[in-house]
Structure 1
Amino acid sequence: MKPIINIKYAFALSVSLIFIGSCKKEDKFLDTKPNQNLAIPSSLNDLVNLLNNETIFNRGADPALGEISSDDFNVADIIYPNLSLNLERNTYTWQKTLYDATFTQIPDWNNPYAIIYYSNVILETLPKVSTPAQQTLADQIKGAALFYRGYSYYNLVQTFALPYNAGNATNIPGVPIRLTSDLNSRPQRSNLADCYKQIIADIKQSIILLPVVPKLKTQPSQPAANALLARIELALGDYSEALNYANACLAKYSSLTDYNKLTTPSTTGLSKTYLEEDIYHSTLNNYSVFSRTFNYVNPSFVALYDVNDLRKTKLFTILSNQAQYPRFVGSYDIRSLKYSGIATDEVYLIKAECLARSNDIDGAMSALNTLLIKRWKPNTFIPFSASKQDDALNKILLERRKELLFRGLRWTDLRRLNRDPRYAVQLARVVGNTTYMLPPNDPRYAMPIPDNEISFEGITQNPR
């Protein structure tokens, strides 16, 4: 990794964004820190306002190269040359080389490491500025910093490391782990087992420090941390632990949005306000390929939705005279970005899958039906049932595919499900007269480390 340039650059840019584009909840920190050279937090309020910077921690914070590489959408031949970046075209067609000299700052790498830098600054500053009388607030600040650090490292390993293999995790390169804000520290890549150990430790520790109900949807909470651990354990294939964390989340927050009550959709999202089921709000890095005029969903996929399933009309639209190109408009984000946060629909699906894998078929279908009844027209939903484990898993995984479209989760699902021949998928895309393929378990399921990190830091590159 190249902390002297990349992380410092990301930090300087982040500070500039704080001062130039702040929202009201950040104003107090900005008013007292008018010079970015003096932007060193010196009080708990400074740390609170730093954490409240949505530009850094939430908006476009999550890596998106995996979403571009997944099978959630297609790009028409006429559009493909018009994508803004070679990086987008190369990623879409699973090229061995993604980066070029025209695009040296890779946000999928830089943004998470900027968040990690901020989190480390906060964790190091906190003991110096807190007093016993402020313990509750100090605990919440520490919990938030740990959550953000663990969340960012998880996103990094999903993008830049190969899928987890319990039998070989100590031999699989992960990402560099930075637990200090010292920009002169230049760690090499940790192995994948150690990366996940750190990720899980951070988030577990955050649970006891975070509030049950956050002040804002963009802030972490106990339900969000439990849901994130459920997501992580599902990716690791530990279904018992994933179920435990899913249940822990739902015990404290289980609200679902009734799609029948969605009355004010925008042209690019489900609602102009945060949805009730949104537990923690964040969005993907905003590449041009995510524009609804640049991509479309396969019509055969849209046809999988029942006529009484409201997702068929709420998640998709048809632009004039383009019936062959359904467009996704179902983001949970209110600013037209692609939502990648944590919501209860995902948690119910995790619970359903884990119950099915433990052969609790009735429990699995009950969890699934709790979600689906909120998606269908009134008095039309017939509860799903399953005759055996495979039947239940097939139905749950299909509904997961239909529910979590364009949420940045499909890439991880492909990576984990490819380990099971029953669910392995060979991806294919045709651009012009050329067919591109991505077989299951291919080395290209890990993005290459940005070239400048390799050149300056000497860390190992992913084989492609």
Structure 2
Amino acid sequence: FGVPYITEADINQKYERHSVADVYANILADLEEAAPFIPEISANNAHPNKAALHSFYARVYLSMGDYERALSNANSALVLNGELLDLNDYEKAEGTTWGRVHLKGNPSERMPDIDHPEANYVKWLSGSLQGSVMLSHEMRDVYAKDLNGAIDLRKEYFFSEDMADLGGSPNYFPGECAFVLYSNFNVGFTSVENYFIAAECEARIGSRQRALQLVNKVRENRLQDFSELQASTNEEALIKVLEEKRREFCLKGPMRLFDLKRLNLEQRFQKTITHTADGETFTLPANDIRYVLPVNQEILEFNPDFPVYER
């Protein structure tokens, strides 16, 4: 089942759970209907523009596994906005929270948010996980791969090893690495997501060299003393792209959840997630029914005929 898709404003409407295919069809129909009214350039990043429209299409088609259309729309979005923020122009300041990462030599010029050059459409997610979530040891290994002497500034700026001095009393967590981005992050549509969509699609159905070119463009703006990724096959390039995407979007919204759900449909990428906390081990196998979130009980009370998944 998909989600109930409301197509008209009618409080007396009887809601149904449509198929996932129906939901996709409705989303695409809405985008097609909206397209003529979306300007190429919007007043600000809180309003959609043509780059956001193509980004939306690209994300939907990627989720559907339609890699040709996903690639076409990602490329169209990148023509309109292919900007990337170069983290090499920034540095971090200890003992601060918001504004922790700022322009080199200018502490008052913190990392941009609403006017972020990568933003096609801004939908902020509050950084409420600050200091309360630790990087898994597996993810630490992912960050350590393919460095060749470089420094990944995403991990350097947005995480803290062993302790975090963020104003007030320092927090200590020996042997661990905490998420301390201290900035709102955009879960709307961005140029960097389109780089990864295009790179993945190229690795799957197109050019290995082009896939690497796209992902290396991102790395050039994220790593200090950057070196290019290399791959001898499309399969190897695809793995490199997916790993780099994990590094880019780690703990920044639902991107990893979306990718896990779609990649688990391919046997070669199926993943069992295991975490241990307070001596208890928690496991989530690939395609487990717990990947599907339950319908809110209050909604079920108003719609007792809704079919629900076994949990």
Which TM bucket (shorter chain)?
A: 0.7 to 0.9
Deviation (angstroms), 1:272: 4.9
Letter in 2 for 1:426: T
- Alpha-carbon distance in structure 2 between the residues aligned to 1:330 and 1:200: 34
Q: Which residue of structure 1 aligns with residue 211 of structure 2?
A: 364
Q: C-alpha separation between the residues in 1 aligned to 2:174 and 2:38?
A: 47
**Structure 2 residue identity aligned to 1:296:** M
Distance in 2 (CA, whole Å) between partners of 1:296 and 1:194 is: 38
Following TM superposition, by how much is the alpha carbon of 1:361 offset from its aligned partner in structure 2, in angstroms?
0.6
Q: Aligned pair 1:446/2:287, yes or no? A: no
Which SS does the other structure have where 2:283 is aligned? strand
Q: Which of 454-463 and 320-329 deviates more?
A: 320-329
Work out whether 1:427 is the aligned partner of 2:273.
yes
- 1:288-322 CA distance string (max 9 Å, x none): xx432321112452352434222221221241432
The answer to whether the Cα contact below 8 Å between 2:92 and 2:157 also exists between their aligned partners in 1 is no
| RMSD of aligned Cα (Å) | 2.1
Q: Distance in 2 between matches of 1:276 and 1:329?
A: 22
The code of the aligned residue for 1:211 comes to P
* Structure with more of its chain in strand, by fraction: 2
Aligned-residue offset at 1:248 = 1.0
Partners of 1:291 and 1:371 lie apart in 2 by: 25
Structure 1 stretch 428-437 or stretch 411-420: which is displaced more? 428-437
Of the candidates 308, 312, 322, which is equivalent to residue 155 of structure 2?
312
Amino acid in structure 1 at the alignment position of 2:241: I
Q: Distance in 1 between matches of 2:18 and 2:123?
A: 26
Distance 1:282 1:234, change over 3 A: same
Alpha-carbon distance, 1:332 to partner: 5.8
- Counterparts of 1:183-262 in structure 2, within 5 Å, are 183-262=11-90
Asked if the contact 1:349–1:396 (Cα under 8 Å) also holds between the matched residues in 2, the reply is yes
* Aligned match of 1:75: none
Once the two structures are superposed, residues 367-423 of structure 1 have per-residue CA deviations (whole angstroms, 9 ceiling, x without a partner) of 11111111122xx22222210011101110100110011231111100001011211
Aligned residue number for residue 179 of structure 1: 7
Distance 1:264 1:328 in 2: 14
Distance in 2, matches of 1:273 and 1:442, equals 36
Amino acid at match of 2:310: P
Tell me: CA distance 1:332–1:246, structure 2 relative to 1, closer, same or farther (3 Å): farther
- Inter-partner Cα distance in structure 2 for 1:282 and 1:329: 20
Tell me, yes or no, if structure 1 residue 267 matches structure 2 residue 97.
yes
SS in 2 for 1:230: helix
Distance 1:322 1:174 in 2: 41
Taking the TM superposition and a 5 Å limit, the aligned residue runs for 1:91-130 are: none
- 1:410 and 2:251 aligned: no
Relative contact order, CA 8 A, sep 6+: which one is greater?
1
Instruction: Give, as a single letter, the amino acid of the residue that structure 1 aligns with 2:151.
Output: N
1:282 aligned residue (101, 113, 123): 123
The Cα shift of 1:264 comes to 7.5
Matches of 2:199 and 2:231, distance apart in 1: 12
Cross-structure match for 1:70: none
User: 2:108 — aligned with what?
Assistant: none
Partners of 2:177 and 2:14 in 1: CA distance: 46
The residue that corresponds to 1:295 in the other structure is: 133
Gaps of 5+ in 1: 1-172
Letter of the structure 1 residue corresponding to residue 131 of structure 2: T
Map 1:145-156 onto structure 2 (within 5 A): none
Task: Identify the structure with the greater helix proportion.
Answer: 1
Report the residue type matching 1:224 in the other structure.
A
| Residue aligning to 2:167 | none
The C-alpha deviation readout for 1:36-66, integer Å capped at 9, x for no partner, is xxxxxxxxxxxxxxxxxxxxxxxxxxxxxxx
SS in 1 for 2:244: helix
- Give distance in 2, aligned partners of 1:186 and 1:196: 20
Q: CA deviation at 1:428?
A: 1.6
**Partner in structure 2 of residue 399 of structure 1:** 244
What CA distance in whole angstroms lies between the structure 2 residues aligned with 1:368 and 1:257? 14
Which residue in the other structure is 1:348 paired with? Answer: 195
Distance 1:415 1:291 in 2: 22
Query: What TM-score does the superposition give when structure 1 sets the normalisation length?
Result: 0.57
Between 1:258-267 and 1:275-284, the stretch displaced more is 258-267
Output one character per residue of 1:162-207: Cα deviation in whole Å (capped at 9) or x when no partner.
xxxxxxxxxxx11112112222212211111111100111123323
Change (3 A) 1:350 1:455: same
Deviation at 1:360, TM superposition (A): 1.0
Residue 323 of structure 1 deviates from its aligned partner by 4.0
- 5+ residue gaps in structure 2? 102-110, 165-170
| Contact 1:449 1:462 survives alignment (8 Å) | no
SS in 2 for 1:189: coil
Note if contact 1:268-1:329 (Cα within 8 Å) is conserved in structure 2.
Answer: no
Q: Which residue of 2 aligns with 1:102?
A: none
**Matched length:** 283
